[in-house]
Amino acid sequence: MTVHVDAAGNLRGLWQPANASPKRLILGSHIDTVPNAGAFDGVLGVALALEWVSISQELDLPLALEVIAFSEEEGVRYGVPFLGSRAVAGRFDPAFLQLKDVDGVSVETAIRAFGLDPDSIGEAAAVADAIGFVEIHIEQGPVLDTEGLSAAAVTAIVGQTRLSLKFSGQANHAGTTPMHLRHDALAAAAEWITAVEALAQRSDGMVATVGRISVEPNAANVVPGAAQVSLEVRDADNATRAAAVDELLSKAAAIAERRGIHLEQTELLDQPAVQMDERLTAFLTDAIEATGFPLKTMPSGAGHDAMVMASKMPTAMLFLRSPGGISHHPSETVLEKDVEASLLVGREFLQRLAKEIG
């Protein structure tokens, strides 16, 4: 393969056999990770992409294949994820170059220190006529492991809405303020949090989480005067997610009004769901069935480089089981038989794709 590092730090290799179509299929994932993480999130997808190239070489398929090991997918250093895939998708905002890490080192400085030219990031954009992009990734969740399955084709990457809500009541003495005269902000927030859980539990495929609470004055003998909470809602259907958020905000307003509480809300993120390409996904599902594995399709609850690449070209994802559903942790692992399954599926996928474009 012909190998180079682009200006965004992505490591790229191209296999271009003489009998290949000029259009290339792009494979890959990311090679950065989070603190105290495991060894397979992202990196496994890069290693398996290289194996898919090896399979194509062995079969002498007329396919041009590019493998990309994306940089800075997790967003740990600079707080903004997908810097590498944004560059490949032609979506790198020049303002990102001014982002600084905890040591005050900017993206631009880091790129130059690595011997690259940030002024050339535009040249990292993928070729316009690519066949598409395929990412192999561990599920990072318990679904496949619970069902005893090796692999699944991803149908969509869920959309996310994140908000911050502040319930403002009246702090007062906990011993002298009668219960019926209180304006307890934390009690209001707690009532609403149970409503969040109840709505998500009766929804098919939606998850909703309140993961952060800040209470003032946060003293054992004081009625809480203010409670600020987070809300994150994820669903593969944008309309369903939006309707759920609207319903939860209406419930929060009703609870606040009944309890004499002031409510403020701030939207922090509204990321639409990304659908995977039907044609490439059909190749994956056909390949899964052809190799004798049970067919499973599912949405991804986590974000991936694939959601960025999907804005540029047809995109598909193959999930492998995460034993125990554990990821972003040192005990993250993968089963050898599932790795073997991905190679068998890859062999079928590549042969089917080569036959169609040939």
Q: What are the tokens at 220?
A: 């054992």
User: Going by C-beta distance under 8 Å and a sequence separation of 6 or more, which residues neighbour residue 282?
Assistant: none
Q: How many residues does the chain have?
A: 358
> pLDDT value at position 21?
84
Integer Cα distance of 29 and 73 in angstroms: 9
Question: Quick one: which of 348, 336, 262 has its CA closest to 56?
Answer: 348
Query: Measured between alpha carbons, how far apart are the two ends of the chain, in Å?
Result: 21
The reported pTM is: 0.87
For the chain, which domains are there?
2-157+273-357 (3.40.630.10), 159-271 (3.30.70.360)
Which helix (DSSP H) or strand (DSSP E) does residue 227 occupy? strand 226-235
What is the mean pLDDT for each group of 10 consecutive residues in the chain (358 residues)?
A: 98 95 95 94 98 97 97 92 96 96 97 97 96 98 98 96 97 98 98 98 94 97 98 95 98 98 95 95 97 97 95 97 96 98 98 90
**φ, ψ at 213 (rounded to 5°):** -135, 135
DSSP assignments along 123-152, one per residue: GGSPPTT--EEEEEEE--SSHHHHHT-SEE
> pLDDT value at position 280?
97
> pLDDT value at position 250?
98
Burial-class residue 80 by CB neighbours within 10 Å (0-12, 13-18, 19+): middle
